[in-house]
Structure 1
Amino acid sequence: MDFRLETFLPYRLNQAAELVSQRFAAQYRARYRMTRPEWRALAALGSYGRMTATEIGANSSMHKTKVSRAVRALEEKRWLKRSEDAADRRIEHLDLTPAGRRIYGEMIALAHEYEQELARLLGADGLEQLEAGLATIEAALAVQPARRGPSD
Structure 2
Amino acid sequence: MVASIIRTAFTLPTAQEVNEQYSEVIKMLGSSHPKVVAMLRDAREDVLAFAGFPPRHWRKIWSTNPMERVNKKIKWRTNVVGVFPNPEALLRLAGAVLVEQHDEWEAGDRRYLSEGSMAELMAVDQQVSDLIGEKILLPELTAA
User: Which of these two proteins has the greater Rg computed from alpha carbons?
Assistant: 2
Report the TM-score when normalising by structure 2: 0.34
The structure whose residues are more often strand, as a share, is 1
The structure whose residues are more often helix, as a share, is 2
Structure with more relative contact order (C-alpha pairs < 8 Å, separation 6 or more): 1
